[in-house]
């Protein structure tokens, strides 16, 4: 196997996957915070039901 073949078939996919994993790991906590901060309709319904029973 020539060095060009080695780069094409082994090095490039490894570098690409490493960058993909690194970007996903860097963006993951921010995305989770955004999802957690946004109230879902189910949470709104549950809080409305709890408010009804609390009065």
Output the pLDDT for position 28.
85
Q: What's the whole-number average pLDDT of the chain?
A: 82
Token pair 């196997």 is at which residue? Answer: 1
Banded model confidence at residue 55, pLDDT cuts 50, 70, 90: low
Q: Which of 19, 17, 37 is nearest to 29 (CA)?
A: 37
Name the DSSP class of 39: P
């Amino acid at each position: 196997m020539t060095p060009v073949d080695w780069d094409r078939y082994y090095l490039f996919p490894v570098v690409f996957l490493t960058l993909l994993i690194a970007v996903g790991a860097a963006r993951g906590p921010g995305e989770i915070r955004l999802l957690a901060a946004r109230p879902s309709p189910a949470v709104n319904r549950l809080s409305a039901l709890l408010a009804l029973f609390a009065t």
